[in-house]
Amino acid sequence: MARRLGTGAALLSLVALAVGCGGLSTEEAQQRCAQLRGAVPSCSTDESHEACVRCYEECGDACEPSGACPQTFTCAE
């Protein structure tokens, strides 16, 4: 019985970890977007920076810049 509860708790922890691993933290997303803004400052607006942060928070490394000017971002899945 105790072994079964331990296995269930471990499985639940893994599921919770997998669900929470999609995006970056706000701080990490802001750092990533600041690097992109620095690389192409002429195509970065406040709105595109906010869209960048939202994309990285939601999608993590699956967030892709479109290459448009101003910059837009999409989740590649």
- 42's CB contacts (< 8 A; 6+ apart) are 69
- pLDDT for 4: 52
> Residue 36, SS3?
helix
Q: What is the pTM of this model?
A: 0.70
Q: For the chain, give every domain's residue range.
A: 23-77
Q: In the predicted model, is pLDDT for residue 11 greater than 70?
A: no
Q: Which amino acid is at 19?
A: V
In the numeric block, which tokens belong to residue 74? 């999409």
Write out pLDDT tens, residues 13-56.
Answer: 333 334 455 899 999 999 999 999 999 999 999 999 999 999 99
